[in-house]
Structure 1
Amino acid sequence: MQDDTRYDQIVGSRRFSNYFWSFFLFFGGLSFLLAGASSYLKINLLPFANPVELAFIPQGVVMIFYGTLSLSLSFYIIVTLIWDIGSGYNEYNKIGNIVKIVRKGFPGKNREILLTYSLANVRAIGIKISEGLNPQRSIYLCLKDERKIPLTPVQQPNSISDIEDEASSLAKFLNLKLENL
């Protein structure tokens, strides 16, 4: 029975890069906000700098704007970390003849995203590899009606050999052909 079912865990937003950027943006934004407030209040709120000497207009206003923007972005990333947006699993069940793709979304009525497909409707496993400024290396479930459902999470691109090994393993498990998209 174990040989007829395969689970692939998907890491969501709880990745090192998101922890790093939330920390970096929070403290950077807080520093900018305090520097802008210091230039307005003429009280030094930062122990490691002297922003009192800055003119409130335009430097202080710009620093408050960038600080607020950076703090807002860091709070957004922190909330996605808490909710673990994008995490889930892919289940391939040969006995039930189904493929289930489960992901967590934003809280609300549709927080749990569940896609179910019959193995009879699956044509192939596809790989898309594109290099350049924004490299993309993804595995897709190619359906007979020409839809392509992504199976890999959004993340730093894995090595080409890892993607190819994972895709070929999945195609072999499901007894499907492998195609290049």
Structure 2
Amino acid sequence: MSADLSPIPNKGTPETLFVQEIKGSRKLSNYLIGSMVTIGGIGFLLAAFSSYLGKDFLPLGKPSTLIFVPQGLVMGIYGILASALSVYLWRMISIDYGSGQNSFDKNSGLLKITRQGFFNKIDIDIPLNQIKAVKLDAREGFNSRRRLCLRIQSKKDLPISKVGSPQPLLELEEEGARIAKFLSVNLEGV
């Protein structure tokens, strides 16, 4: 079973409710990148201040010997940009951007998709009778993509899997088959 689309315990019977939890941006790789960008931004800012004030604020090297224009100034700009990027990355991690769930409920006849957006939650309700098929969208090559989509009547395909690194094709096929079987629709693109 996919680690990103794992069924969670549901309140109804297994025949009437199928819920998938979607993981967001709280991943180890995002924590590592956020930490590295933060440390780098602070380092560049301290080097710029050292260059401007003529006093070493960093334990390594001697940034106070740098000429402020242009070296210290450029390091300061790099530090400001890296600090702004780190604030953005930590904000994405703190709100767990992209997390949510897909809830297929046969009792209410609705698919409820919820995702955490940048400023608010995104909620989409789709009647189950409008879902015509589950589509496995796999594209290999330089910019490879593997995802599950729902083919909805008179609309574009709606992706329901997590965005990020491609999942193993076998796991994606199994998840698509499980959803297609639950909805009693075809699985396309296999």
Q: Give TM class, smaller chain.
A: over 0.9
Cα deviation for residue 131 of structure 1 reads: 2.2
Cα distance in 1 for partners of 2:171, 2:177 equals: 10
Cα deviation for residue 47 of structure 1 reads: 0.4
**What residue number does 2:174 align with?**
165
TM-score, scaled relative to structure 2: 0.88
**What residue number does 2:9 align with?**
none
**Residue pairs, 1:30-179, within 5 angstroms:** 30-107=42-119, 111-179=120-188
* Matching residue's letter, 2:103: E
Matched, 1:11 2:23: yes
Cα distance in 1 for partners of 2:59, 2:156 equals: 57
RMSD: 1.4
Q: Deviations over 1:40-99 (max 9, x none)?
A: 111101001211122211111111111111111111111111111211100011222211
TM-score, scaled relative to structure 1: 0.93
Cα distance in 2 for partners of 1:133, 1:65 equals: 33
* Matching residue's letter, 1:86: G
Cα deviation for residue 130 of structure 1 reads: 1.6
Cα distance in 2 for partners of 1:133, 1:167 equals: 24
**What residue number does 2:4 align with?**
none
SS of alignment partner, residue 20 of structure 2? strand
Cα deviation for residue 134 of structure 1 reads: 2.6
Cα distance in 1 for partners of 2:76, 2:140 equals: 38
Cα distance in 1 for partners of 2:176, 2:71 equals: 53
4+ residue runs over 3 A deviation: none
SS of alignment partner, residue 3 of structure 1? coil
* Matching residue's letter, 2:112: K
**What residue number does 2:32 align with?**
20
Cα deviation for residue 128 of structure 1 reads: 1.2
Identity %: 35
Cα deviation for residue 27 of structure 1 reads: 0.2
Worse overlay, 127-136 or 96-105: 127-136
Cα deviation for residue 139 of structure 1 reads: 0.6
Distance 1:124 1:13, change over 3 A: same
* Matching residue's letter, 1:163: L
